[in-house]
Structure 1
Amino acid sequence: MSDVIDLPPPPPLGRLAGAREIALFLDFDGTLVNLAHAPGAIDVPPDLGPRLRALGDRLGGRLALVSGRSLEDLGGHCPIDGIACAGSHGAARRDAAGVAIGDPALAIAPGALEALRSGARELGLMLEAKPHGAALHYRANPERAALAEALADEVAARFELAIKPGKGVVELTQTGADKGGAVRAFLALRPFAGALPVFVGDDVTDEDGMIACEEAGGFGILVGDRAPTAARYRLPDVPAVYEWLSL
């Protein structure tokens, strides 16, 4: 793991592409759009979908969005037709043609969701139910972080779920669902296979994707100043990501 202070900016994307074909894996919240107080409050550029498709075309189709949001939620904020995507922290995957990759993602047990809903109501937390998991949000009330984490720990232990901590949120998913698995699944398929993989993300859950890229000979790029990280390079914020991508 690297100390963020020592991380340099990445080389220009054009220079990387000149050395070897690049496969780009991009997080969404905190990377392509700024974080907001609630999941539905993000401000998405109206032409982001077409711009991402154009970037994917420049890369020969080797572009994938890898988000904690479900694919349905992601598509509701940004047109993702023609873009390979992994949602629900990598559990649900599809290629650029919309064809599913791997086994269908499983929903968490109804009892787990009910326990989270009851606990969130009692503790004053915001619960976001997802097709393949659930998220306890406390960004608007950071003093409730410990309460959210304790509730997540309790429910995860009872229902054998995985915990995904993030910025102002703690999520529960089926075990084995992570962004690293999504990266590996894409890298096994054309047009990603054999390319230099690069993961760009800002949050703790993006570390799995960065590690998977490093294992395949690539690297991660951290957005922001979180530490520790497996990233090799750093970009300070969302506008810097757009500049680096020429997006």
Structure 2
Amino acid sequence: MPMRSNAAAAKNAETPHTGRPTLPPAPEGFPDAVALFLDLDGTVLDLMPTPDAVWIPKDTIEAIGAVADKLDGALAILSGRSLEDIDRILAPLRLPAAALHGAELRRRGGGRVADGGSPPPERLVAALGAFVDARPGLSIEDKGASVAIHYRSTPQRESEVRERVAGLVAQFAPTHELQPGKMVVEVRPRGCHKGGALDLLMEEPPFAGRRPVVLGDDLTDEFAFESAVARGGDAILIGEINRASAATYALPDPEGVRAWIQALAVS
């Protein structure tokens, strides 16, 4: 069942431009009945010109750790980043995580539920590299199990990037698929997404038997949104985004997410 709170009942406020209720101060059943899943970039972290430029306040890391403790460990990161990158950003925390959209998946205590699968073929990576090299402002990020083309510096190239990368994937990597995101397109193993990762984690302690609550901002998060809602949980869309979404609630920006997490930590 959906979240309820006195604040939400009294105000029933909506986040601007989304038409969705603003996320209440705490999920119903927090902490004993809730499993929390957090995206990073664009959700907890502000988007930056390059993926390496992101920054997270120390008090937010401490708050995430405190909330994880309140949830008896039922807090996981769902991200397109690698496990190594997630751990670097959130150090010293080492949380359950679905990295590379679920191609890498770590359970509580460090055990792997799933491993990366086949990386994109070398000839595809080479073709993508040549495409990027010929277009200033684009960058390529080889994550092993997936490869991403970023166009944050040249957003006018969006259509060109999507069309060309889709063509190269069809030509060189039929076992992979294209996943568009915010100023990025990513090539990943077909069928590998955050919704499947959430489902796997929800079958194991400490997540099993709890109601999933997912925060995310991008198209890649919609898979997790749909999975959470299907399990009777909630999905929170971050940003003033007016698009079709499975989200049940909204918050305006990552700053609001960080404040929400810090409030949970001391509740």
Q: What is the TM-score when the length of structure 1 is the normalising length? A: 0.93
- The one of 129, 148, 157 equivalent to 2:142 is 129
- The one of 181, 184, 201 equivalent to 1:169 is 184
- The one of 22, 30, 36 equivalent to 2:42 is 30
SS of the residue 1:119 aligns to: helix
1:105–1:52 distance in 2 versus 1, CA, 3 Å? farther
Counterpart for residue 259 of structure 2: 243
Give the superposition deviation at 1:154.
Answer: 1.1
Q: Does residue 1:94 correspond to 2:106, yes or no? A: yes
Counterpart for residue 76 of structure 2: 64
With 164-173 and 99-108 compared, the bigger mean Cα shift is at 99-108
Alpha carbons 1:123, 1:147 under 8 Å: kept: no
Counterpart for residue 217 of structure 2: 202
1:53–1:28 distance in 2 versus 1, CA, 3 Å? same
**Structure 2 Cα separation of the partners of residues 102 and 179 of structure 1:** 12
**Structure 2 Cα separation of the partners of residues 235 and 7 of structure 1:** 9
SS of the residue 2:258 aligns to: helix
Alpha carbons 2:32, 2:71 under 8 Å: kept: no
Q: Does residue 1:192 correspond to 2:207, yes or no? A: yes
Counterpart of 1:73 in structure 2: which amino acid? D
- The one of 6, 21, 41 equivalent to 1:8 is 21
Give the superposition deviation at 1:229.
Answer: 1.2
Counterpart for residue 239 of structure 2: 224
SS of the residue 1:136 aligns to: strand
SS of the residue 2:208 aligns to: coil
**Structure 1 Cα separation of the partners of residues 193 and 248 of structure 2:** 20
Structure 1: state its 5+ residue gaps: none
Aligned length: 244
SS of the residue 1:192 aligns to: coil
1:33-52 map, 5 Å:
33-52=45-64
Cα deviation code 1:20-49 (max 9, x no counterpart): 600011000011110001110112223544
Q: What is the TM-score when the length of structure 2 is the normalising length? A: 0.86
1:189–1:155 distance in 2 versus 1, CA, 3 Å? same
Give the superposition deviation at 1:210.
Answer: 0.4
Alpha carbons 2:22, 2:250 under 8 Å: kept: yes
**Structure 1 Cα separation of the partners of residues 79 and 128 of structure 2:** 22
**Structure 2 Cα separation of the partners of residues 165 and 80 of structure 1:** 31
Give the superposition deviation at 1:4.
Answer: 5.7
With 70-79 and 235-244 compared, the bigger mean Cα shift is at 70-79
Larger C-alpha radius of gyration, 1 or 2?
2
SS of the residue 1:132 aligns to: coil
- The one of 20, 24, 33 equivalent to 1:21 is 33
Give the superposition deviation at 1:81.
Answer: 4.0
Cα deviation code 1:96-148 (max 9, x no counterpart): 31111134433211111111101111233211111211111111111111121
